[in-house]
Amino acid sequence: MSGIWGNNIKLSIFGESHGKAIGINIDGLEPGIELDLDYINKEMGRRAPGKSKLATSRKEEDSFQILSGYFNGRTTGTPLCAIIYNTNQHSKDYEKTKNLMRPSHGDFTGYIKYKGFNDYRGGGHFSGRITAPLVFAGAVCKQILEKKGIVIGSHIKSIGKLEDKSFNMVDIDEKVLITLRENLFPTIDEKIALKMKDIIIKAREEKDSVGGVIETAVINLPVGIGEPFFDSVESTLAQLLFSIPAVKGVEFGSGFHITELKGSEANDEYYMDGDKVRTYSNNNGGVLGGITNGMPLVFRVAIKPTPSISKVQRTIDIDSGKNREMEIIGRHDPCIVPRALPVVEAAAAIAILDLC
């Protein structure tokens, strides 16, 4: 099982990169919510390929069709299903090399798990393309959260070893988050973006790829969202975030760095700010005991370098069981981080709406 997620909002995802269509069914939405389809299109556009020379030239329309659960411009409260037809696939690219297991892809593990019956074209169900329906669902959830004042924003914290500034975790401005969202390559320090892009372009020229870290913040969350154990805010978010291909690490607040602090440094002491309870620091990233404390929810996600590189790589032929070499031809992103960023935000929106 793999394609069902959630408690209050249930997602059911489906599709393969080169199949007929990909999509998602969302169950549990409130009835009567006006949906801004342009907003959804814009979010889809942030993830869509073909936007710049930093990314793959595969042009996916990513134009969605809502099949159900939407009537007279509003949600009906019954399951909302949307699909995206696949087009512009170069399926034949994959036919010749289907027995060569691309390193660090899901080819080999999928082959074994599904006994060779999985759709291998373009990574099939393992393709990053399957995150498009997640972005659709995220765009729906984000709108609903925004009506409650909850805002999500992200920036590229690092590309390779080059780092952007961090969010000031105790005080994050809504305008900053919204400005970041307008940018297809968002950084807090605008100058760093150019240098990061240089790194990516250089990687492409070298037939190589690079990874990076995405830092996301969610502000204006009420106190009391989440659960003490298995449905903690961190558990819920992490489960969704680690389902995004290429994610290899997730941390909240000061994350791994908190382990280098003393308790007296790490503890977020409370004070009354008028009627509101706040903390002087936010090393816990807005979550205590699995539950939001009203401070900004901040987390970071590690995205590995795109595994599809044009350099020669050693691999095996799964049919003959022999060692081989391969070059991955095709249209690939030298860095998936900018396109993964809206997916990370979508996961956050879905997770938080589910917990609300």
Query: Residues 125-162, buried b or exposed e (16+ Cβ, 10 A)?
Result: bbbbbbbbbbbbbbbbbbbbbbeeebbbbbbbbbbbee
**Region 56-85 residues binding a second copy, contact defined as CB under 8 A:** 65-72, 74-81, 83
Measured in whole angstroms, the distance separating CA 65 from the mean position of its chain's CA atoms is: 21
What is the C-alpha to C-alpha distance for residues 320 and 163, in angstroms, rounded to an integer? Answer: 44
CA distance 237 to 353: 11
Q: Is 194 exposed, middle or buried (0-12, 13-18, 19+ CB in 10 A)?
A: exposed
Q: Considering the complex, what minimum distance in angstroms separates the CB of residue 281 from a second copy?
A: 9
C-beta closer to a second copy: residue 86 or 176 = 86
Q: How far is the CB of 58 from a second copy (least distance, A)?
A: 18
Does 342 count as an annotated binding residue?
no
CB 302 within 8 A of CB 207: no
Task: Give the residue with the Cβ less far from a second copy, 93 or 173.
Answer: 93
Q: Is the dihedral of CA 144, 157, 341, 79 positive or negative?
A: negative
Say how far apart CA 53 and CA 160 lie, in whole Å.
Answer: 18
Measured in residues, the chain has a length of: 356
The answer to the question of whether 279 is labelled as a binding residue is: no
Candidate residues 42, 255, 330, 356; the one interacting with a second copy per rule CB under 8 A: 255
Q: Which range, of 35-43, 90-98, 185-193, 261-269, touches a second copy by CB under 8 A?
A: 261-269
Q: Does 266 bind a second copy (CB under 8 A)?
A: yes
Out of 41, 242, 330, 331, point to the residue binding a second copy (CB under 8 A).
Answer: 242
Distances (CA, A) of 297 to 132, 186, 257, 300: 24, 19, 16, 10
User: Interhelix angle for 131-147 vs 337-355, to 10°?
Assistant: 50
268 touching a second copy, by CB under 8 A = yes
Is 202 marked within a binding site? Answer: no
- Comparing CB distances to a second copy, the nearer of 173 and 231 is 231
d(CA 156, CA 214): 5
Chain centroid to CA 156: 12
Least CB distance to a second copy at residue 178 (A): 26
Which residues make Cβ contacts (< 8 Å) with residue 130, sequence separation at least 6?
Answer: 13, 15, 16, 17, 22
230 binds a second copy (CB under 8 A): yes
Q: What spatial distance separates the first Cα and last Cα of the chain, rounded to whole Å?
A: 25
Minimum Å gap between C-beta 143 and a second copy is 16
Name which of 110 and 338 has its Cβ closer to a second copy. Answer: 110
CB 32 → a second copy: shortest distance, Å? 4
Binding test (CB under 8 A) with a second copy, winner from 49, 122, 245, 338: 245
Check if the beta carbon of residue 170 is closer than 8 Å to that of residue 65.
Answer: no
Q: Which of residues 174-213 bind a second copy (CB under 8 A)?
A: 203, 206, 208-213
Residues 3-62 interacting with a second copy (rule: CB under 8 A): 3-5, 7-8, 10-16, 19-23, 25, 27-28, 31-32
Which residue stretch of 38-46, 164-172, 186-194, 315-323 sits at the interface with a second copy (rule: CB under 8 A)? 315-323
Q: What residues between 295 and 314 interact with a second copy by CB under 8 A?
A: 300, 302-309, 311, 313-314
Site string for a second copy, 133-172 (x = CB under 8 A): -------------------------x-xx-----------
Determine, following the binding rule CB under 8 A, whether residue 338 of this chain makes contact with a second copy.
Answer: no
DSSP state of 233: H
Consult the annotation and say whether 304 binds a ligand.
Answer: yes
128 binds a second copy (CB under 8 A): no
Residues placed in the known binding site for NADP(+): 47, 53
